[in-house]
Amino acid sequence: MKYYILFGPPGAGKGTQATVMVEKYNLHHISTGALLRKEIAAGTELGLQAKALIEKGCLVPDEVVEGMIESEFKTVTGVDGFLLDGFPRTLPQAEALDAILAKTGEEVTGTVSIMIPDEMIMERIKGRALKEGRADDASEDTINNRIVTYHNQTEPLIDFYSKVSKYHEIDGIGTIEEVRDRIFAVMDSI
């Protein structure tokens, strides 16, 4: 089984590229946001815990998200692997993912990181807010906060996965097709 992590700053095009990666490599896409919504809708124990926290305005703790991801690994069949999008975002989450996979003798296959400069992040997210009517993407302060959070909490994962030769960076500047071709070249080499 393959376990890929799709990595990159907000607005890098992860969602756009995930769709074609899933199709080409027969992967199951695990987006933490979608996973939370699915578990809540299904009324699972983890979903009920998450719903109660969200309704109180709290963040869902790592262990709840980790439990949902582990459940996906155990229950999804008919795929050649998984594409994680939005997890891990921090070093403790990366360590937890390693522990989850180690239980079954598995490990992360590789990370595919789509990188773009901060100015482009701002431009793309603002464009997405207008095009898709996403209020969460409309404020410059919110976008700046997301960029800072990415640099502070998520970028340390570059070093974490580089140390074990599982970090693969893709230039995210160019057309969707150009970026896709770069991703496929890396995926084919992992």
Active site residue ranges: 14, 89, 128, 134, 146
DSSP the chain: -EEEEEE--TTSSHHHHHHHHHHHHTEEEEEHHHHHHHHHHHT-HHHHHHHHHHHTTPPPPHHHHHHHHHHHHHH--S-SEEEEES---SHHHHHHHHHHHHTTT----EEEEEE--HHHHHHHHHHHHHHHT-GGGT-HHHHHHHHHHIIIIITHHHHHHHTTT-EEEEE--S-HHHHHHHHHHHHHH-
